[in-house]
Amino acid sequence: MFETVLVANRGEIAVRVIRTLRALGVRSVAVFSDADADARHVREADTAVRIGPAPAAESYLSAERLLQAAARTGAQAVHPGYGFLAENAGFARACEEAGLVFIGPPADAISLMGDKIRAKETVEAAGVPVVPGSSGSGLTDAQLAEAARGIGMPVLLKPSAGGGGKGMRLVRDADRLTEEIAAARREARASFGDDTLLVERWIDRPRHIEIQVLADGHGNVIHLGERECSLQRRHQKIIEEAPSVLLDEETRAAMGEAAVQAARSCGYRGAGTVEFIVPGGDPSSYYFMEMNTRLQVEHPVTELVTGLDLVEWQLRVAAGERLPYAQEDITLTGHAIEARLCAEDPSRGFLPSGGTVLRLREPQGDGVRTDSGLSEGTEVGSLYDPMLSKVIAHGPDRATALRKLRAALAETVTLGVQTNAGFLRRLLAHPAVAAGELDTGLVERVVDELVPTDVPEEVFEAAAAVRLDALRPKGAGWTDPFSVPSGWRLGGEPKPVAFHLRVTDPVAYAPRGTHTVAEDTVAVTLDGVRHTFHRAADWLGRDGDAWHVRDHDPVAASLIRAAHSGADSLTAPMPGTVTVVKVAVGDEVAAGQSLLVVEAMKMEHVISAPHAGTVTELDVTPGTTVAMDQVLAVIAPAEEETV
């Protein structure tokens, strides 16, 4: 076994790897950018090395700086986690050339399986069923469109490089092929530096099921069962579970053997995942999609049902050990479900959020596990992936695991940063999810049912109670009656104290229930029902949901409206960086015209003109960092022509 391992990643996966290294008695080395100097993974590692400025390209994506850090700390091996350089064949080769062990598959396997076109051809030759689609790389736009029409609509456009849903486009109308191919190429080029695309037949209401494989360097390959990953939003997994309710033992064994053959076909070593698309009405008709040549985000559910530590076996295999298991030794016990907690705001269309974690509570124990990179004081910015942590529950059956996970999400508190915890909790309670009737489009179909449109009355009551408590004088001695928020006045009866609270809109609200305000909680009783909230600064939270209560100055608001009278201000929908500016002051624009692009946490958001008009203000340039709701530009509407 290694003496020292460098973890070439950040956040929750770095903390996760460090935990296993500590359990094995292996010294851990963390790396960090300037933005992560105080991050949890830095504090938990035995040694930490600064590797550069905040942008990932100058730190976590710099193979040179990572290798220098390994050399300075005496590391013998590098664990890449997932994301960043985990599936970068060049980095794997660079580690080998530097005399380091790359804790992952051989560089050739990464390269082969990272090219979706070559990967399909390779596994198909090994007898693994693949989705009908285009073959060969380097197809022109016209050739892709021709292949799509030959397959028959609808089709799915996919980048040959990369993964995670980036650049994928579902096209149902052949007339939109040209536009969608161009858009998919742009996103693929921006995300992976490679705009090669392939096209595949789209399977309506498919299920996404993947098989975990484990291979050593001595020719032994086994699978550890499947994970159901059909609950997705925008092609991104948000809930994963093991095992799948769809598969019977015969289908599980057949898919597992297909995954093993796929791994053998590329000379795989270590932990990897073979992903399949499965028609919900016919589980026996499964098709290979791709192979992820790394540890998966959702690996904890497999760990909980098999009892194996996958990070430990990555390390042991990389150190040259043989797998001590045969396929018949692997059994699945109980059911496990994972929810991905992300910095995003469901009420704003799931746009990325950010801020400082002011209050943190993460459930652990009694069949519940949280893998997290958070701590109180963590600054969540727009530079890195929005996933903050994962909450996982295990039980003897699926119903128990679902119930435990819903309860765990209700206990999760991350005040200061808006997350999707409440949304995930409601999703897990949806009748289709409870019944196991899943497909990759389910979340999009029911999303509106799961995002509340109104703020509960008790939130206003709790916010008013907190503000009232803050205004009350503290300590003994004489108190000026004019400074007390009691409604007292000369020559008259006290009047109720009104507080103007802004949650989604300015609301005038007078406290009417009883309340108790403590240091980190507030409880209010309305109509005989007691509601308890976590609180921190101007944030309230309950059952996974959170509300940011901000001061609203009606005078300042009216001045802003007057300044922009007759014009529409375009504001940043999320904290991030302006990457594209397509207009200048004085330009005339059409309604719906793309004006700017704001990027945050690997997501691009196009800012379009709300109506035809003229750009009268433009306050940003490419590279400008912006806060949520910051004014970017102002469009004065065009005068209507009179007849």
pLDDT tens per residue, range 505-550: 434 445 566 889 999 999 999 989 999 999 999 999 999 999 998 7
Choice among 373-377, 385-389, 628-632 with the minimum mean pLDDT: 628-632
pLDDT tens string 129-158 = 998 887 666 789 999 999 999 888 999 998
pTM of the predicted model as reported, rounded to 2 decimal places: 0.84
Q: How far apart are CA 211 and CA 203, in angstroms?
A: 19
Q: How far apart are CA 392 and CA 369, in angstroms?
A: 5
pLDDT of 113 higher than 80:
yes
Report, in angstroms and rounded to the nearest whole number, the Rg of the chain calculated over CA atoms.
27
User: For residues 438 and 230, is the Cβ–Cβ distance under 8 A?
Assistant: yes
User: For residues 501 and 552, is the Cβ–Cβ distance under 8 A?
Assistant: yes
- Whether the bond between 53 and the residue before it is cis, its omega within 30 degrees of 0, is no
Share of the chain above pLDDT 70, in %: 90
Mean pLDDT confidence for 97-106: 98
pLDDT tens string 488-509 = 566 665 555 444 444 444 344 4
Strands 351-352, 155-159: pairing is unpaired
Per this entry, what is the length of the chain? 643
User: For residues 158 and 131, is the Cβ–Cβ distance under 8 A?
Assistant: no
User: For residues 331 and 308, is the Cβ–Cβ distance under 8 A?
Assistant: no
Tokens for 78?
A: 């590098």
Mean pLDDT confidence for 185-212: 90
> Phi-psi region for residue 302, left (φ > 0), alpha (ψ -120 to 50) or beta?
alpha
- Nearest residue to 209 via CA among 185, 241, 187, 183: 241
pLDDT at 604: 79
Pseudo-torsion of CA 226, 230, 233, 238, nearest 10°? -40
Choice among 402-411, 561-570, 577-586 with the minimum mean pLDDT: 561-570
Q: Half-sphere exposure of residue 117, counting CA atoms within 13 Å on the CB side?
A: 16
The one-letter code for the residue type at 7 is: V
pLDDT at 484: 58
pLDDT at 476: 62
> Phi-psi region for residue 144, left (φ > 0), alpha (ψ -120 to 50) or beta?
alpha
Q: How far apart are CA 403 and CA 401, in angstroms?
A: 5
Q: Which residue has the tokens 């915890």?
A: 421
pLDDT at 518: 94
Q: How far apart are CA 442 and CA 597, in angstroms?
A: 29
Query: Helix, strand or coil for residue 266?
Result: coil
Mean pLDDT confidence for 433-455: 95
Q: Which residue has the tokens 């101007």?
A: 538
Tokens for 535?
A: 């609180």
CA 27 to chain CA centroid, Å, is 29
DSSP 281: T
User: For residues 99 and 121, is the Cβ–Cβ distance under 8 A?
Assistant: no
* Distances 407 to 18, 244, 400, 535 between C-alpha atoms, Å: 27, 21, 11, 19
**Residue 528 φ then ψ, to 5°:** 80, 0
pLDDT at 621: 92
User: For residues 207 and 198, is the Cβ–Cβ distance under 8 A?
Assistant: no
Q: How far apart are CA 106 and CA 318, in angstroms?
A: 10
pLDDT at 514: 83
User: For residues 554 and 362, is the Cβ–Cβ distance under 8 A?
Assistant: no
Q: Where are the beta strands (DSSP E) in 495-538?
A: 499-502, 506-509, 514-517, 521-526, 529-536
Domains defined for the chain, CATH in brackets: 4-103 (3.40.50.20), 132-201 (3.30.1490.20), 454-472+497-552 (no CATH), 566-637 (2.40.50.100)
- Nearest residue to 91 via CA among 118, 63, 58, 111: 63
- Report the sign of the C-alpha dihedral through residues 413, 417, 418, 419, in that order: negative
If 0-12 CB within 10 Å is exposed, 13-18 middle and 19+ buried, where does residue 353 land?
buried
Return contacts of 463-466, CB within 8 angstroms, 24+ apart: 463/499, 463/501, 463/503, 463/509, 463/540, 463/547, 463/549, 464/499, 464/501, 464/509, 464/510, 464/511, 465/511, 465/515, 465/517, 465/522, 465/524, 466/517, 466/522, 466/535, 466/540, 466/549
pLDDT at 221: 98
Mean pLDDT confidence for 591-602: 86
Quote the crossing angle between the two packed helices 107-114 and 116-125, to the nearest 10°. Answer: 100
The one-letter code for the residue type at 171 is: V
Q: How far apart are CA 602 and CA 620, in angstroms?
A: 20
pLDDT at 131: 85
Mean pLDDT over each residue of the chain, to the nearest integer: 90
* Distances 475 to 51, 472, 478, 479, 516 between C-alpha atoms, Å: 50, 10, 10, 10, 18
Q: How far apart are CA 423 and CA 6, in angstroms?
A: 36
Q: Which residue has the tokens 């949890």?
A: 40
- Report the sign of the C-alpha dihedral through residues 381, 385, 386, 391, in that order: negative
Q: How far apart are CA 378 and CA 138, in angstroms?
A: 44
Tokens for 401?
A: 């695991």
Task: Grade residue 376 by pLDDT with cuts at 50, 70 and 90.
Answer: very high
* Distances 107 to 90, 104, 163, 236 between C-alpha atoms, Å: 7, 9, 17, 26
Mean pLDDT confidence for 561-579: 76
